[in-house]
Amino acid sequence: MIVRLDLQDEQTVQKLWNMQQRAYRVEAELIGTEDIPPLRESVEQLRTCGETFYGYIEEGELAGAVSFLIEGETLDIHRMIVDPVHFRKGIASQLLASVHEHSCSKIVVATGSLNEPAVRLYERHGFTLTDQKEVMPGLRLSFFEKTLRPR
């Protein structure tokens, strides 16, 4: 079940932060750097980030989450998080499908170029690679977008 998360609820934001730490440590290993903003973020910074969060609940536990901001007609995915104990269950695909329900004409997302599972996820869901940039020595990001309907 996918539900909107209330980050003002202490228990919810703490569970989300813990899951984010576990998930982004795996990404850090994949891309070869620990210098990922979500790993440096405090619980309070997460709570006040301003993003909209939806969580995937499995057997009463938070197993994944997606966050985004909407600007005009563009939905910008900021985080796609799946607890490592729930990898390979299709949770990210379900979360990604859920953001399509918002009335936007385009979805954009960036991920570490060496994060092959994330790159495959976005390609499998019809996203097109639009750019790649080295954002710091040794860290390259891939930028994807998907047009949902003509403007």
Q: Domains of the chain (ranges plus CATH)? A: 2-147 (3.40.630.30)
Q: How far apart (Å, rounded) are the C-alpha atoms in residues 7 and 111?
A: 23
pLDDT, tens digit, for every residue of 12-55?
999 999 999 999 999 888 878 788 888 899 999 999 999 999 99
Tell me the CA distances in angstroms from 107 to 72, 87, 90, 122, 127, one per residue in order. 11, 23, 19, 11, 8
Q: How far apart are CA 23 and CA 49, in angstroms?
A: 18
With cut-offs at 50, 70 and 90, classify the pLDDT of residue 138.
Answer: confident
- Whether the per-residue pLDDT at 151 is higher than 70: the answer is no
